[in-house]
Amino acid sequence: MDYMQNYKLWLEDDYFDGATKQELKAIEGDEKEIEDRFFKALEFGTGGLRGVIGAGTNRMNFYTVGKATQGLANYIIKKGRAESGVAIAFDSRRFSKEFAERSALVLAANGIKAYVFESLRPTPELSFAVRELGCVSGIVITASHNPPEYNGYKCYWDDGGQVVSPWDNEIIEEVNLVENFSDCKLISLKDAKKAGLYIEIGKKIDDKFIKCVLNQSLNPGAVKKIADMFKIVYTPLNGAGNLFVRRALAELGFTNVFVVPEQENPDPDFTTIGYPNPEDPNAFKLALALAKEKDADIIIATDPDSDRVGSIVRDKNGEYVMLSGNMAGVLLCEYILSQKTKNKTLPENSAVISTIVSTDLTKVIAKTYGASYFDVLTGFKNIGSMIKDFEQTGKYEFVFGFEESYGYLSGTHARDKDAIVSAMLLCEYAAYLKLEGKTLTDALGEIYEKYGYFKESTQSITLKGVEGLKAIKTIMENIRSNPPSEVCGQMVFSFGDYKNRITKDMLTGQSEGITLPVSDVLYFVLGDGSWFCIRPSGTEPKIKIYFGVKGKTEEEADKKMKDLSAGVMYIINKEIP
């Protein structure tokens, strides 16, 4: 069935409601818009769903959410796990609560108990709740840091982590087997509650979650000593983190926490920011103004589902400096490992996990403290999966994990990145340093002096719509087929093709296998140790390019980065159709 036939079906079939049909009638005659909404089904990928909200097969709506949940329900029933139930959370986006309820009612109609948070909650708490309640699965309705027109559906398994192989592909297969939207079962909220299949949860899980977060504190005494002189500005970016970050900071002992009033309460339109991404300096405009007014030591921002955290810190000159995701990750890694070593609480089999596109500096820090280091593919679900493996084998004990896109985890209470615990530890580290007359920028400088000047950056190219998807595929395949042998005067030493799971030595021509899972990723290492990586985004219509260099001085690292990024972007831009 082509896109126009799909469009007409949605207009004519009595299964689709009046509001949906009215929305679709409004685009009658706009063939490009109709094609974009109906040229494919919104793909249920390894992370679930994510797309623009609206009517159509390629949109986030009650029907696509219902189909995804019916497929999940079918899988749970096939596995004989219906009695375990599913935990459900949602953030502040448009239709998040409604999509969460629809998911719960589809599950209930299939005889599967749904444990639903009564109001918005952070994603890491959903991860925690899955194991705490003994659920087989979890769902969180969120589009993370995407623009306001998006929403999404993330799926978790019984370990509290996002679904990974082989369960991800098996669930995808079940979702794809639900051919007709009318095949989705549904029950009323009243009947679901009466049958004991719709259960609201909240405070008890909150209390247990926050207790686990506070258990990750390394220097609570330092916080209490300086609490009256230490000031924090926090913005939840109109999302789910507000009550939870503030509670963790307050219970740890911080007394001067100032919340950006315009971004304190839920706002699905993100009126004051538009793009609620703590990676974006523009998200900090109001927070920065408040910080200057209050003379704050640190600014913290969490994204709408509060799994990512961004930070701006005041240096010794009183200037505010934004930390990159890698910088914050390096600081947290050094703080956690050094303090656990000092306190003699670092396990002998301790492990640090990060992603192939994050800084190489973490490897050096881990080695210094005697911790094992592990690389995984992009996506925190891969870190969560490795934590599970550690616990099952007992060979390693997880201490810290992070990815450069502002996601961090200390502890195993969650199996996804946790902005609550990360915000708390960044503030605690800053307070600890202030007692010594230092700042986080001083600590970062000391790290570079100790280990070398590592520098990273990321660029992206947005290519929207049907043609954009084709262009992204073409670019990736062209570079995969004809990898560059030289970039900015440096010979390419090795080329890793994670789709074909082969790394090739460009000097000898010899190849060896890659043990990590299949992924559409290209990874290049140059003669001086610099590297770059190219991959399509899994959540937005973009190609993302990552760069990493190391220099003996900051100036040398800056020059290497400038040359590398210019050389690589020249190669990629030539491939854009």
* Residue 489: per-residue pLDDT: 87
- Candidate CATH numbers 2.20.25.90, 3.40.1440.60, 3.40.50.2300, 3.40.120.10; the one for domain 40-201: 3.40.120.10
The phi and psi torsions of 220 (rounded to 5 degrees) equal -60, -30
In whole angstroms, what is the distance from residue 127 CA to residue 430 CA? 28
Are 240 and 122 in contact, with CB atoms under 8 Å apart? yes
What are the backbone dihedrals phi and psi of residue 415, each rounded to the nearest 5 degrees, phi first?
-120, 25
Give the range with max mean pLDDT: 91-95, 272-276, 462-466: 91-95
What is d(CA 527, CA 313) in angstroms, rounded to the nearest whole number?
35
Which residues lie below 8 Å from residue 406, measured CB to CB, with a gap of 6+?
Answer: 278, 279, 303, 308, 309, 310, 325, 328
Residue labelled with tokens 């079906």: 9
* 276 touches 270 (CB < 8 A): yes
Band (199; pLDDT cuts 50, 70, 90) = very high
Task: Answer yes or no: are the C-beta atoms of 346 and 426 closer than 8 Å.
Answer: no
Q: Distance between CA atoms of 305 and 142, rounded to whole angstroms?
A: 6
Mean pLDDT of 329-347: 98
Q: Is 137 a catalytic residue?
A: no
Tens digits of per-residue pLDDT, 212-226?
A: 999 999 999 999 999
Fill in the amino acid letter for 571.
I
pLDDT digits (tens, 9 = 90+) for 522-539: 999 999 999 999 999 877
Identical fold, 40-201 and 209-451: yes
Residue 185 has pLDDT above 90, yes or no: yes
Q: DSSP string spanning 269-326?
A: T-TTTSS--TTSGGGGHHHHHHHHHHT-SEEEEE-TTSS-EEEEEE-TTS-EEEEPHH
Burial 478-489 (b: 16+ CB within 10 A, else e): ebeeebbeebbe
Residue 6 pLDDT level (bands cut at 50, 70, 90): very high
Would you say 358 and 329 are in contact if contact means Cβ atoms under 8 Å apart? Answer: yes
Average pLDDT over residues 458-469: 88
pLDDT value of position 1: 72
Q: Which CATH superfamily is domain 453-575 in?
A: Alpha-D-phosphohexomutase, C-terminal domain (3.30.310.50)
Residue 399 has φ and ψ, to the nearest 5°, of -120, -45
Among candidates 451, 461, 447, which has minimal Cα distance to 565?
461
- Mean pLDDT on 198-208: 98
What local confidence, expressed as pLDDT, does residue 418 receive?
A: 98
Percent pLDDT > 90 in the chain is 92
Token pair 């199996």 is at which residue?
Answer: 415
Query: Which pLDDT belongs to residue 467?
Result: 86
CATH 3.40.50.11440 applies to domain 209-451: no
For residue 57, give Cα distances in angstroms to 21, 35, 75, 509, 536.
13, 10, 22, 45, 22
First to last CA, the chain: 28
Count CB-CB contacts under 10 A for residue 316.
Answer: 11
pLDDT at 167: 84
Domain locations in the chain?
A: 40-201, 209-451, 453-575
Q: What is the mean pLDDT of residues 383-398?
A: 96
**pLDDT digits over 138-157, tens only?**
999 999 989 999 999 999 99
Of the residues 92, 137, 144, 519, only one is catalytic, namely 144
What is the pLDDT, as a whole number, of residue 469? 87
CA nearest 244: which of 289, 332, 307? 307
Confidence of residue 308 (pLDDT cuts 50, 70, 90): very high
47: confidence class by pLDDT, cuts 50, 70, 90: confident
* Cα 547 to Cα 357: distance, rounded to the nearest angstrom: 8
Confidence band for 43, pLDDT divided at 50, 70 and 90: confident
Residue 176's SS3 state is: helix
Over the chain, what is the mean pLDDT?
95
DSSP 136: S
Q: Angle, to 10 degrees, between the axis of helix 440-451 and the axis of helix 361-368?
A: 80
- pLDDT value of position 477: 95
Q: Which of 244, 236, 242, 299 is closest to 270 using CA atoms?
A: 236
Of all residues in the chain, what percent carry a pLDDT higher than 70?
100
Q: What is the pLDDT of residues 94-119, one digit of tens each?
A: 999 999 999 999 999 999 999 999 99
Work out the average pLDDT over 116-128: 98
Quick one: CA dihedral 459, 465, 469, 470, positive or negative?
A: negative
